């Protein structure tokens, strides 16, 4: 009993400590008396000015070293190659919590609630952040920007109220929505999936939620809408009718396309592939699987893909592979600029800082001619141990600088032409009359057998992989 008493005392002291921390950080000193007002317009990031480009020699952590928004690369400004977007859910709803630990982040503007008043305050913080960061876009999940409700009607009313403020702030700051989406994975009703749920009522509720999310994305001028099916899949095939679930998913997407056209939303519909987690097997496993699904159900012209680099590695591919798969299928629409940790087995959503990976990504983007009306959104979060407000800026700065270096490196490789020439030479045997016949589908097996006997044992040239890697490294 004595042990339990001591434990209870420690828990009470911890709760008081958290309360004191939360209270002391709720309102910056210059805004005393304003913080309980839902219209509070105090500065959320005092002491942090607009982030500027200072060049590679700068030692200022709150400056860009490589990302120069107005610099022109291959006939297009950097900002237009990237169309960077801040992800509301990680930047403003990330708490540092993980499956093994409680939240570690207590931002100054938070009051510990998920009220409408708090939602509006977060939205104001979001716009101050993207203004100071110098980013023109933001993206969101419906339930991250506004609290859920006891009923669908209440949830929609909450969303309307926050979206009205977001619209006002967009107009004031000339910012835009890159994409919106509905959160169809967190609520218990979606435990078996949303569009692939075994329950008809859940399917209908998910449809209603997407309908509303499409409406508000359209209202905010969003240029894309994303579907991420975190629970669209199965845990076991023993109790799953996979064919029926896939058919239901296709019908759901068809209805989304029809409603998009009905309301006059001209944005691109995007599907974000992921192999597993939280579901054991998700139906949009990777870019190739998703492309096959779209072709099977006649949806290939209605959707593109939002490729997330961390999801690519979880599916056993590189991000470059997934981007190329999407690109050659005409499906590359948007990129979640993040990465994972090879020593950690889950989706860690880290900011991408690998310059070689960024270079490979930008080679695909350049080959694609850019990704507008898509862009690069930072579906990435601070590490659990990073708890200072300025860390939000530093994380985005290094992510943007890394991608800028990747763009410059890719442009150097293209201008040099050595890598492209190496690839061309590797396939030059097909740059012949007979090669052209094969590629045109005019060479049958009888003809090819005749040529094989005529030519004898073929000579096979070196692939020159090490030389290709040397050329890549020379540009980094």
Average pLDDT over residues 148-176: 97
**DSSP strand E in 262-336: where?**
268-271, 281-282, 303-308, 332-336
Q: Check if the beta carbon of residue 406 is closer than 8 Å to that of residue 413.
A: no
Judged against a pLDDT cut of 90, whether residue 11 lies above it is answered with no
Convert the pLDDT of each residue in 189-203 to its tens digit. 999 999 999 999 999
Distance of CA 239 to the CA centre of its chain: 32
* Neighbouring residues of 150: CB distance < 8 A, sequence distance ≥ 6: none
Convert the pLDDT of each residue in 12-29 to its tens digit. 433 333 333 333 333 342
Does the active-site annotation cover 141? yes
d(CA 277, CA 270): 19
- Supply the pLDDT for residue 261: 98
* Neighbouring residues of 155: CB distance < 8 A, sequence distance ≥ 6: 143, 146, 147, 148, 149, 209
* Neighbouring residues of 111: CB distance < 8 A, sequence distance ≥ 6: 22, 26, 35, 117, 118, 121
Identify which of 362, 374, 375, 380 has the alpha carbon closest to the alpha carbon of residue 320: 362
In which residue are the tokens 């296709």 written?
A: 250
- Supply the pLDDT for residue 359: 98
- Supply the pLDDT for residue 99: 85
- Supply the pLDDT for residue 41: 58
**Domain extent listing, the chain:** 1-27, 33-416, 433-475
- Mean pLDDT (the chain) is 91
Q: Check if the beta carbon of residue 367 is closer than 8 Å to that of residue 326.
A: no
d(CA 251, CA 195): 9
Convert the pLDDT of each residue in 221-276 to its tens digit. 999 999 999 999 999 999 999 999 999 999 999 999 999 999 999 999 999 999 99
Q: Check if the beta carbon of residue 224 is closer than 8 Å to that of residue 240.
A: no
Average pLDDT over residues 310-315: 94
In which residue are the tokens 């990747």 written?
A: 406
d(CA 237, CA 197): 14
Assign 3-state DSSP to the chain and report helix, strand, coil percentages, each to 5. 50, 10, 40
- Supply the pLDDT for residue 39: 54
Convert the pLDDT of each residue in 154-164 to its tens digit. 999 999 999 99
Average pLDDT over residues 125-154: 97
Residue 458 CB neighbour total at 10 angstroms:
8
How large is the angle between the packed helices 390-416 and 418-426, nearest 10 degrees?
60
Distance of CA 339 to the CA centre of its chain: 10
Convert the pLDDT of each residue in 392-418 to its tens digit. 999 999 999 999 999 999 999 999 999
In which residue are the tokens 């499409």 written?
A: 214
Per-residue confidence band for 6, with pLDDT thresholds at 50, 70 and 90: very low
- Paired tokens of 339: 């990465």
Judged against a pLDDT cut of 80, whether residue 38 lies above it is answered with no
- Supply the pLDDT for residue 270: 98
Average pLDDT over residues 385-398: 96
Catalytic residue among 141, 192, 218, 320: 141
Judged against a pLDDT cut of 60, whether residue 425 lies above it is answered with yes
Question: Cα-atom radius of gyration of the chain, to the nearest Å?
Answer: 25
Average pLDDT over residues 46-73: 97
Per-residue confidence band for 45, with pLDDT thresholds at 50, 70 and 90: very high
CATH number of 33-416: 3.20.20.150
Average pLDDT over residues 63-90: 97
- Paired tokens of 159: 């969303």
Distances (CA, A) of 55 to 68, 401, 454: 8, 10, 61
- Supply the pLDDT for residue 469: 97
- Sign, CA dihedral 121-124-126-128, equals negative
pTM of the full structure: 0.90
């Amino acid at each position: 009993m004595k042990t339990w008493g001591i434990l209870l005392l420690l828990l009470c002291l911890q709760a008081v400590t958290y309360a004191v921390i939360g209270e002391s950080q709720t309102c910056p000193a210059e805004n005393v008396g304003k913080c309980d007002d839902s219209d509070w317009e105090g500065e959320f990031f005092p002491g942090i000015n607009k982030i500027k480009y200072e060049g590679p020699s700068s030692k200022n952590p709150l400056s860009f070293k490589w990302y120069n928004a107005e610099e022109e690369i291959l006939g297009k400004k950097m900002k237009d190659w990237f169309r960077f977007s801040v992800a509301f859910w990680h930047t403003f709803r990330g708490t540092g919590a993980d499956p093994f630990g409680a939240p570690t982040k207590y931002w100054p503007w938070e009051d510990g609630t998920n009220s409408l008043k708090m939602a509006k305050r977060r939205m104001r913080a979001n716009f101050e952040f993207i203004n100071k960061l110098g980013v023109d876009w933001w993206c969101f999940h419906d339930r991250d920007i506004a609290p859920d409700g006891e009923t669908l009607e209440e949830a929609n009313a909450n969303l309307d109220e926050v979206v009205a403020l977001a619209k006002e702030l967009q107009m004031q700051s000339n910012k835009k929505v890159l994409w919106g989406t509905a959160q169809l994975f967190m609520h218990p009703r979606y435990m078996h999936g949303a569009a692939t749920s075994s329950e008809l009522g859940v399917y209908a509720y998910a449809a209603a939620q997407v309908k509303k999310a499409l409406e508000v994305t359209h209202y905010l001028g969003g240029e894309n809408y994303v579907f991420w099916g975190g629970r669209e899949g199965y845990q076991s095939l023993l109790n799953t009718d996979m064919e029926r679930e896939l058919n239901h998913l296709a019908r759901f997407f068809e209805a989304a396309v029809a409603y998009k056209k009905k309301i006059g939303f001209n944005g691109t519909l995007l599907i974000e592939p992921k192999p597993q987690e939280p579901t054991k097997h998700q139906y949009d496993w990777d870019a190739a699987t998703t492309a096959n699904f779209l072709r099977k159900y006649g949806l290939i012209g209605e959707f593109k893909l939002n490729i997330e680099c961390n999801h690519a590695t979880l599916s056993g591919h590189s991000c470059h592979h997934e981007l190329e798969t999407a690109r050659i299928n005409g499906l590359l629409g948007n990129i979640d600029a993040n990465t994972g940790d090879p020593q950690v087995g889950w989706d860690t959503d880290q900011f991408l800082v690998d310059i070689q990976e960024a270079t490979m990504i930008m080679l695909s983007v350049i080959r694609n001619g850019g990704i507008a009306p898509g862009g690069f959104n930072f579906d990435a979060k601070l590490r659990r141990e990073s708890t200072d407000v300025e860390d939000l800026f530093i994380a985005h700065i290094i992510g943007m600088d890394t991608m800028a270096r990747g763009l410059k490196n890719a442009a150097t490789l293209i201008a040099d032409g050595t890598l492209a020439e190496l690839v061309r030479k590797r396939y030059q045997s097909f740059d012949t009359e007979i090669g052209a016949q094969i590629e045109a589908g005019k060479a049958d097996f009888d003809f090819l057998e005749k040529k094989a006997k005529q030519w004898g044992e073929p000579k096979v040239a070196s692939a020159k992989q090490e030389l290709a890697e040397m050329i890549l490294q020379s540009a980094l």
